[in-house]
Amino acid sequence: AVSGCNNGLTGCYSMTVSGAVSGCTYGLNVCYSMTVDGATFSGNSIGDLYKSGGRAYHTTFGSATENGGYAGVYFGLNSFFESLNHDGVAGAYRAWTGGGIVDSDATTKLNVRSYKHNCTSADYATFMQREYTLDPSEKLRVRAYVRKDSTMAYKPRIQLLDFYADPLADTNNVALAETEYPDDTTDTWKALEAEWTNTNAAPFHVLYRSVAKNASGNAWFEPEIIRMTEGW
């Protein structure tokens, strides 16, 4: 346990954190590629997280500010921090990105849950993503039901990406497959589909990403993701 300090941890990279972090100014301060597993944060005055990237599992963020420095792109356009089983609630999800926050949403949905992308920037993306490794001839197919509550110049979209050639990290990179919301309608679910087959001779690391970007407003994504061997 760490308590009563200025920084619980600061300037860290690729570490695993568990236990209690409490009563500090910063919980994790400028830490990147972190794994937080079963930790409990509380009473950290600036925030449990600050300008940090990584992933948390079964972790409770109990301070008044969960993440005090996520807005913008401190570690790059594709940096984010996500929390699975957020605050210890099974199935709950939250991600902090440069352009806003993504939350699981059991109210605005078609089936069990959607993922609400709450946009706060016209410059930086609000996104969530999942990683897959495809064997040769294996296909990743995505159907996502998407809706938005405002007009967005940058249409919400789904992407399949080369893990090592991310367009958010380098604008010269392009998506393996991408489909965007087709029009300017609001409060209407639309089905978007994208697929990609690994035609390489070796396994290939792929990202599925849902993206929204706007100064304000929300977009909801409810994805169905299927992996299949070509020819099935």
pLDDT in the model for residue 20? 97
Domain boundaries, the chain: 1-69, 99-232
Q: What are phi and psi of 86, to 5 degrees?
A: -55, 135
Please state the three-class secondary structure of 46-89 as a single string: CEEEECCCEEEECCEECCCCCECCCCCCCCCCCCEEEEECHHHC
Please, what's the largest Cα pairwise distance for the chain? 59
Q: Which CATH number fits domain 99-232: 3.20.20.70, 2.60.120.260, 3.50.50.60, 3.30.70.960?
A: 2.60.120.260
**Residue 166 CA: distances (Å) to CA of 14, 159, 222:** 20, 10, 22
DSSP letter assigned to residue 135: P
pLDDT in the model for residue 115? 98
- Nearest Cα neighbor of 13 from 1, 36, 27, 30 is 30
Q: Mean pLDDT per 10-residue run, the chain (232 residues)?
A: 91 95 96 95 96 96 93 77 96 96 97 96 95 96 97 98 95 97 97 97 98 98 85 46
pLDDT in the model for residue 230? 56
Record the pTM.
0.94
pLDDT in the model for residue 132? 96
Find out whether 98 and 70 touch, Cβ atoms under 8 Å: yes
pLDDT in the model for residue 219? 99
pLDDT in the model for residue 232? 43
